[in-house]
Amino acid sequence: MTSILEQEIKEQPEVIRRLIEYSADQAKAIMDALRGKFNYILIAARGSSDNAARYAQYLFQIINEVPVALATPSVFSLYHKAPKLEGALVIGISQSGQSPDIVSVLEEARRQGRPSIAITNDPSSPLAQAAQFTLDLQAGQEKAVAATKTYTASLLAIALLSNALAEDKAAFGEIQHLPAQIEQAIEQSMQQISRMERYCYMQHGAVIGRGFNYSTAFEVALKIKELTGITTVPYSSADFLHGPVASLTRGYPVFGIAPSGIMAEDMSAIIDKANAMQAELVVISDLEELLAQAQLPLPIPPGVPEWLSPLVAVIPGQILAWQIALSRGLDPDKPKGLSKITETL
Amino acid sequence: MTSILEQEIKEQPEVIRRLIEYSADQAKAIMDALRGKFNYILIAARGSSDNAARYAQYLFQIINEVPVALATPSVFSLYHKAPKLEGALVIGISQSGQSPDIVSVLEEARRQGRPSIAITNDPSSPLAQAAQFTLDLQAGQEKAVAATKTYTASLLAIALLSNALAEDKAAFGEIQHLPAQIEQAIEQSMQQISRMERYCYMQHGAVIGRGFNYSTAFEVALKIKELTGITTVPYSSADFLHGPVASLTRGYPVFGIAPSGIMAEDMSAIIDKANAMQAELVVISDLEELLAQAQLPLPIPPGVPEWLSPLVAVIPGQILAWQIALSRGLDPDKPKGLSKITETL
């Protein structure tokens, strides 16, 4: 029987195609209205949406040279403090748009007269109501508890906003290749699912990525945790060397997120180090020389620019987490102890 | 034989006393020079210093109502991009002051004519040379690879800067109680060390804190990872409910950082949830009702205000990590695969 999670994973090329077609103009209108009105961006999000915020942190800084702060929502919602938001553009990301702590940050932006954008799958949600502008993910209802299509849609919404701010038409052409690239990544990972049973008895692991794909490391670690209950920890390759590298022993599972780009060299060094310690390696990459070093290579299509690679590199991680859940006899649609909408203060 | 780590843990009351005595005026002079010259703070740090930065993130936002962004150093050092720092005060934290990626953020601040502060244990380091102002931790050379005294000293440096910016003399009085409170926390934890052997065979665990003590959760998790190689993951109680709660099973080790204050209620709910799942609980708190629910209660002295509690609540975590390392026959001074100065790009 096909799970809802499987259906939603496989809907992603279509969700991305639809969002490019219907929301690029909207992203442009929002950024045309806001250009020159902020000198940094403050983003409020939790869970998978917070991982999308990590992507935004690199994207806006590298492409647009705008500093990005990730909000600590409890400052607003529990300590009842209102940092002075002069100079800030405030963005809230939440598929449901329901979590009161995220909404409270956008409400404070409104109170202080600061511009704000909601990125959400529900344009009638409290988050959308609190925001000056809303970018609707149009992903269709997400029924599986673990977010997949709303995660990649959130990444794309951020990429569209960044691209609109940069007014870079050549880069927009790169965005248009994404639906086909995501489709190919799904096909490539589906060819590897029989090998994924290998991780049925895995007890813990480290997921390592850096730069644009720091977000992917967090999201893959979260998918594995949510769907299987296995303790997996995300790291940047730099932070990993500042301490956690001490965990590496023979057979310790390391998941390297290593697409082409500036960070490939850094990830290659981590992969060498893990191999020297006889760690177990799963590598998500389009680079043959890195894939060749893995016990389980998870290829993604070549030709994806690094700034868009998080939308493609997360796919094998979603499929791996789903398959490990199946191998452990778990229901991928209803992970133990979780509900679809998490309301935190 | 006494390890260097043990000596450095026990030096902390003296290090903190010295820093209050010799650096409060300097913090005041720095903040008098910078007041009104920034509308947000950007902090660059790695490893334990990045955990100190997390404390700064809550402190400056809650006490001073100034937004705080944590820098992503690779944007500067590897992507060679320079986000426009208009409005920013840039702070670099590094005990050695050597890591090139952190230095590169301060150098960019100088290039753009933005104010900057180095918090470091080496006032002749490249970080100090790149900064406009330096706050010297004066902690004496830290010889053990795992940071302890430079971590609490970094927290205090941040508290002194925040207090100076707020010009709050009553709150400065609270700072002056810290040396005695840290001393008492060390004594209380030392009385529990025979019980810590219980975690000799632990394979993984979650460390949960929120608000000011989100930093403590990260630092305790990092100490356990560095000193023992055990995979421990830090969470805010809110993020934990957005997914990782699925990991909770009978006997799963949960370390709750739960001092008195606004977050005690939130942490109490997590402790109840963990108990309902028959998880294993270690609780660091001054609250009898929370300590009573733990398999291993680690008390800290009462009367520490929440905003300073991270300097005290980390102590039992340092001692626990050190004791688990000893129980596993590991050298606490030289964790496998780590060196004292980690230079990352």
User: To the nearest whole number, what is the mean pLDDT of chain B?
Assistant: 94
Per-residue pLDDT at B344 exceeds 80: no
The closest CB to that of B342, out of A82, A226, A242, belongs to A242
> Which residue of chain A is at minimal alpha-carbon distance from B341?
A242
Looking at residues B163-185, what average pLDDT do you find?
A: 98
Contact A96, A70 (CB under 8 A): no
Per-residue pLDDT at B247 exceeds 80: no
Distance CA A268, CA A77 (A): 42
Q: Categorize the per-residue pLDDT at B81 as very low, low, confident or very high, splitting at 50, 70 and 90.
A: very high
Distance of CA B267 to the CA centre of its chain: 18
> Which residue of chain B is at minimal alpha-carbon distance from A100?
B238
Distance CA B228, CA A243 (A): 11
**DSSP string over B102-121:** HHHHHHHHHHTT--EEEEES
pLDDT at B112: 97
Please report the domains of chain A, with CATH numbers, ordered by start residue.
Answer: 4-176 (3.40.50.10490), 181-327 (3.40.50.10490)
Which residues on chain A are in Cβ contact (under 8 Å) with B236?
74
The closest CB to that of B204, out of A204, A242, A244, belongs to A204
Contact A118, A133 (CB under 8 A): yes
Distance CA A22, CA A17 (A): 9
pLDDT at A292: 97
The closest CB to that of B101, out of A40, A86, A238, belongs to A238
pLDDT digits (tens, 9 = 90+) for B55-74: 999 999 999 999 999 999 88
Contact B323, B294 (CB under 8 A): no
Q: Which tokens hold the place of A17?
A: 């195609």
Which residues on chain B are in Cβ contact (under 8 Å) with A65?
81-84
> Which residue of chain A is at minimal alpha-carbon distance from B48?
A242
The closest CB to that of B225, out of A48, A146, A244, belongs to A244
The closest CB to that of B65, out of A84, A248, A277, belongs to A84
Q: How far does B21 lie from chain A, in Å, by closest CA?
A: 30
Q: Which of A42, A259, A168, A55 is nearest to B68 (CA)?
A: A42
* A37, A66, A75, A340, best to mutate vs chain B, most B CBs in 10 Å: A75
> Which residue of chain A is at minimal alpha-carbon distance from B214?
A72
Asked if the Cβ–Cβ distance from A87 to B39 is below 8 Å, we say yes
Q: How far does B45 lie from chain A, in Å, by closest CA?
A: 10
3-state helix, strand, coil in chain B (%, to 5): 50, 15, 35
| ipTM confidence score | 0.90
Asked if the Cβ–Cβ distance from B66 to A74 is below 8 Å, we say no
Q: How far does A31 lie from chain B, in Å, by closest CA?
A: 18
Q: How far does A308 lie from chain B, in Å, by closest CA?
A: 15
Asked if the Cβ–Cβ distance from A248 to B337 is below 8 Å, we say yes
Distance CA B154, CA A282 (A): 37
The closest CB to that of B40, out of A40, A101, A226, belongs to A40
Asked if the Cβ–Cβ distance from A83 to B75 is below 8 Å, we say no
What does the H/E/C string look like for B133-187? Answer: EEEECCCCCCCCCCCCHHHHHHHHHHHHHHHHHHCCHHHHHHHCCHHHHHHHHHH
Per-residue pLDDT at B336 exceeds 80: no
Distance CA B211, CA B236 (A): 8
Which residues on chain A are in Cβ contact (under 8 Å) with B83?
61, 65-67
Q: Which tokens hold the place of A156?
A: 């794309």
pLDDT at A249: 86
> Which residue of chain B is at minimal alpha-carbon distance from A249?
B229
> Which residue of chain A is at minimal alpha-carbon distance from B55?
A72
User: pLDDT under 50 in chain A at which residues?
Assistant: none
Per-residue pLDDT at B337 exceeds 80: no
Q: What is the pTM of this model?
A: 0.93
Mean pLDDT: which of A262-271, B267-276, B308-317 is highest? Answer: B308-317
